[in-house]
Structure 1
């Protein structure tokens, strides 16, 4: 950037710097003889004056300089030889007090020459900034040739002498930080800025200056909800080439993330189909697909199938966590028929369930790889028996609970209601006693304290109302299930 004091280095102007500040950079040169020119300033101007409107001033200089500083002026240049033979000491002291750059302009230097020199400096600076921005863009583009984001992040940190990190939506680092000053990165600030802009979509940008550093946070992605954010912390203020470099890096990262997402989606489709084949009993075809999708990752020789269900967004998050954290442990995960299907060695199932926060999960029996179908079936039965209070069920737990646990709750209740609907309480009590005494009508009569003929008549009526043949063992099992399910009632 160009500062007002940089004009002192132009020999032809003969300017003398009386006081130099680190104030606003120079944007243009303005000329005014008004006692208060600030209504006509936009900020960043070097104001030139011969002091015609200030003749005889003393205490007024302090307020004049204060107004210029408040308006964001880049500096004040006073021509000598007309109103003043030398700069008033009160003016000099006021510029020092308000830290406003003060230049002395000799009588022989035309104000238009100062304006022309400032324009040339600004043009040179703009050209240099453009060249630098293009150079940074070329270097960043070369670093972004592959799908690995790390080289691009490291290159950005190196080129800008900055600290760079890629973070998730919750502000936790996904990659990095990179750069020499990683210890000084304020991750708390990054989290706060991500939280502030993540609801604003892909066009949001946050720039924060704090403690002598500038932090820029930008979302990464080309469509949909951004899942990653680029955070760059630079020492001091950010200039246009640096801002352009951050924007370029964000675009390149978005392209790389999109390419990775497309590749991941293709791999997920193949892996999902492979799991579907595996769980249908076609181990060989599943291994062929996994050779393509997973670079030959083997199916565990002994495995369990875990089937999970829940909200689509949560299923996607859990799938991503399993892919990122458990793939190296031989865990295979994919979407099949709207559920998340996971195949893992028995010793890895605990890690899978730990990642399944917010989902219901059924864990199938441990089997050899060629028997994966049996594990998948038992995982589905276990999933059917999950509840809000028991979101995870293992096949062993279901099997130990007896045959009633194998009947899906809604289906079992519907079966019991339809079979027992024609029977009143007396019929049901008699039927339960008949089943309890293994079909002995005499034992039923003694148990209920009624005559055997009454028992016989009631059983005949039950057969007529339900269509059951109570001498058929299968019918007795069905009646027993209905009575047990009706007694168990709906579960939460």
Structure 2
């Protein structure tokens, strides 16, 4: 039987008219397609050999009809009726042997088949019709068995996902892998929350997603619909709809339309997504925001275009917009408070467009999208007020404004540096409630670098001998050095701050110079010591 398979045919899809014509048992008859060439992708459900004048009464649809032409009516009207009946019942094609009665197809037959779009195929040589039926029926039955096995594997795969508590991303990814097609989960406002591309880029799949999705229609049941022929099915539970799963068709040159297995995959996807929604408390929108923000921060997207398409599909403007990255460190929080949703709702109420997601435990990332002339500081002030209302010790850090979505990773890195350079309880500027890059002076820079062994080694090298001397002798030369450096080398001011006589101050400074092998009259050396003393304060404050 394997010898009769069409070239490359692995029966992972329905057997078509073109497939049957390519079988050796039929190709030996030198088949020629006279009409209906665009319809050779019609599936063949059975082969029917007939010499009756009314074969349609014995058909159910999808049959490849084989005839010698002997029963064809003589008159054109009878031929048209014969063809109309075949077309009305849904026959896949009509194959006529040009050996006995005809040596060329009758014009009336050709015209009737052309008008009804029924493929008409002629055979120039004698073909054993019985052998054709045996070969094709064996293939069809084998196809059905294979289809049952594949359906069983599909059910087993999704059952395994459900039993291990897979999240929505795992479910959609599995659907794309099994079907070999792009699969998308969208919410009720037509935002694409999860997209697993297959055979196309994210940009191709998601560009203008909302408009394309709305044009597809609501879709109450699993069906291929809309101008692009999307296969969709609702995701719902007990009458409450949460969104829908969408399978995108392959490009015209990449494969056939959707088949029964695709429908099975998508419906099982919807069922698994329903279970995932019930057992995972995090809302899909929050998960989607988290994933997109992490891709932006870590630059894990395949291309800037893909990143833009993902953001746009979640409702973030990507044209003529400016962006500001904000980090909110909340510290220990009540896990039931859902700070992500609250911040997102408050920002949306204020008219601010944003993505909000948890980047790490206790740390939220917010990407604000601003209109061309919209100032960002009032929005961040409002955001800070929300965060401080939830956690009075929250720290809000802001990166610089950028005009390209590709640069948002830099803005997030800057916000992270600000957060790293902000000690607990760090006072804010009197006119704002957030921290930004311009706040990072020497002390906060050294605080951010406090874990660096090079900073620790530098501090010890500069001041270690003085600290050890104070420890052994019970002196406080370190404080004297601090007063002197804070006074920018003014000995009179330093003596007054330390409550010392000038001569006592001079003596202590000479001791410091001897211990540290330093010239305190040198501006460069005073600067080095001042940096080391600031670092020591930061290290001791840990």
Using structure 2 for the length normalisation, give the TM-score.
0.44
Using structure 1 for the length normalisation, give the TM-score.
0.48
